[in-house]
Chains A and B, each alone.
Chain A
Amino acid sequence: MSVDVGVLARARARARVLGAVAVPVTAPVPSGLSGVPDGDRVWLLPVWPDGATPAVLEQYETPPMPLDRAGQQRRVLAAALRCCWTRLDDAPWPGEAAPVADVLSVYAHLARGDADLARRWATGELRRLTDTGWLLLDEDAATVRTGPRTAQWPAETLASLRDLLRRLPGPEPLHA
Chain B
Amino acid sequence: MSPARETAGPAAASLDDLLEGEAVLGVYRQMFAALARDSGAVVDDPALVDVAETLLAAFADAGEDGLSREQMRHVCRRYPAEVFENRLRVLRGLGAIREVFPKPHQLRYRASFTSVVGLMFVRRMMLDGGQSEMHRLLALEQLNVADPRMTAAQARAGADGLARAFRLWSVELLTLTHGTIEELREQAPKLWGSEEIMLRAERLHGAVLRRWPELDRSCTDLRAALYAYGDASRRAAARLSDSAGTTRNLTLLPPETWRTFARTATRDELAAVLDGFVFDAPAPWHESSAVVAAVADAPRAVPARPAPPRASAPDRGLARDVGAATAEDDRLREVAEEVLRGRDRVDVRAVLTGGWPAARRLLADLSAAHLHPGLPYRLVWADGLKADPSGSPTWLSSGTFERHPR
* Chain A residues positioned under 8 Å from B290 (CB to CB): 55, 70, 74
A78 to B286, CA, bound (A): 10
Fill in one digit per residue for A54-76: 1 if any B CB lies within 8 Å of its CB, else 0. Answer: 11000000001101001111110
Q: How many A-B residue pairs lie within 8 Å, measured between CB atoms?
A: 86
CB <8 Å contact, A19 and B283: yes
Fill in one digit per residue for A111-150: 1 if any B CB lies within 8 Å of its CB, else 0. Answer: 1100000000000000000001110000000000000010
Contact residues of B between 265 and 300, Cβ < 8 Å to A: 278-295, 297-300
A160 at the interface (CB under 8 A from B): yes
A158 at the interface (CB under 8 A from B): yes
The listed residue (B278, B284, B293, B297) touching A64 by CB distance below 8 A is B284
Known: A71-B297, A74-B295. A157 touches B289 (CB 8 A): yes
A77 at the interface (CB under 8 A from B): yes
* Chain B residues positioned under 8 Å from A163 (CB to CB): 292
B301 at the interface (CB under 8 A from A): yes
Closest Cβ of chain A to B291, distance in Å, is: 5
Report the interface size for chain B: residues with CB under 8 A from the other chain. Answer: 23
* Chain A residues positioned under 8 Å from B284 (CB to CB): 64-65, 67, 70, 73, 132
CB <8 Å contact, B301 and A53: no
CB <8 Å contact, A70 and B294: yes
The listed residue (B279, B283, B291) touching A149 by CB distance below 8 A is B283
CB <8 Å contact, B287 and A20: no
* Chain B residues positioned under 8 Å from A157 (CB to CB): 287-289
- B290 nearest CB neighbor, chain A only: A74
* Chain A residues positioned under 8 Å from B288 (CB to CB): 153, 157-158, 160-161
Closest Cβ of chain B to A9, distance in Å, is: 13
* Chain A residues positioned under 8 Å from B287 (CB to CB): 53-55, 157
Question: Main secondary structure on chain A at its contact with chain B?
Answer: helix
Closest Cβ of chain B to A65, distance in Å, is: 5
CB <8 Å contact, A73 and B286: yes
* Chain A residues positioned under 8 Å from B294 (CB to CB): 70-72, 74-75, 78
CB <8 Å contact, A160 and B295: no
* Chain B residues positioned under 8 Å from A55 (CB to CB): 285, 287, 289-290
For chain A, give the interface size range. 35 or more
Contact residues of B between 290 and 340, Cβ < 8 Å to A: 290-295, 297-301
CB <8 Å contact, B299 and A112: yes
Closest Cβ of chain B to A69, distance in Å, is: 10
Closest Cβ of chain B to A101, distance in Å, is: 20
A102 to B108, CA, bound (A): 85
* Chain B residues positioned under 8 Å from A132 (CB to CB): 281, 283-284
A3 at the interface (CB under 8 A from B): no
CB <8 Å contact, B283 and A164: no
A19 to B284, CA, bound (A): 11
CB <8 Å contact, A65 and B283: yes
CB <8 Å contact, A161 and B292: yes
- B281 nearest CB neighbor, chain A only: A19
Known: A17-B279, A78-B294. A53 touches B285 (CB 8 A): yes
Closest Cβ of chain B to A128, distance in Å, is: 9
Closest Cβ of chain B to A20, distance in Å, is: 7
Closest Cβ of chain B to A89, distance in Å, is: 15
Known: A71-B298, A112-B299, A112-B300. A160 touches B292 (CB 8 A): yes
Known: A157-B288, A161-B288, A164-B292. A111 touches B299 (CB 8 A): yes
* Chain A residues positioned under 8 Å from B280 (CB to CB): 16-17
The listed residue (B282, B283, B286) touching A77 by CB distance below 8 A is B286
Known: A16-B280, A111-B299, A112-B301. A74 touches B285 (CB 8 A): no
CB <8 Å contact, A111 and B291: no
Closest Cβ of chain B to A159, distance in Å, is: 9
A33 at the interface (CB under 8 A from B): no
A75 to B286, CA, bound (A): 11
A168 at the interface (CB under 8 A from B): yes
A18 at the interface (CB under 8 A from B): yes
> Which A residues contact B (CB, under 8 angstroms)?
13, 16-20, 53-55, 64-65, 67, 70-75, 77-78, 81, 110-112, 132-134, 149, 153, 157-158, 160-161, 163-164, 168
> Which B residues contact A (CB, under 8 angstroms)?
278-295, 297-301
With A16-B278, A18-B281, A71-B294 known, 9 other A-B pairs at CB within 8 A are A17-B279, A74-B290, A74-B295, A75-B291, A78-B292, A110-B295, A110-B298, A112-B301, A160-B292
Closest 7 CB pairs of A and B: A74-B294, A132-B283, A54-B285, A112-B299, A161-B288, A55-B287, A19-B281
Could you list 26 examples of A-B contacts with CB < 8 Å?
A13-B278, A17-B280, A18-B281, A19-B281, A19-B283, A53-B285, A54-B285, A55-B287, A64-B285, A65-B283, A71-B297, A74-B294, A75-B298, A78-B295, A110-B295, A111-B298, A112-B301, A132-B283, A132-B284, A149-B283, A153-B288, A158-B288, A160-B288, A161-B288, A163-B292, A164-B295
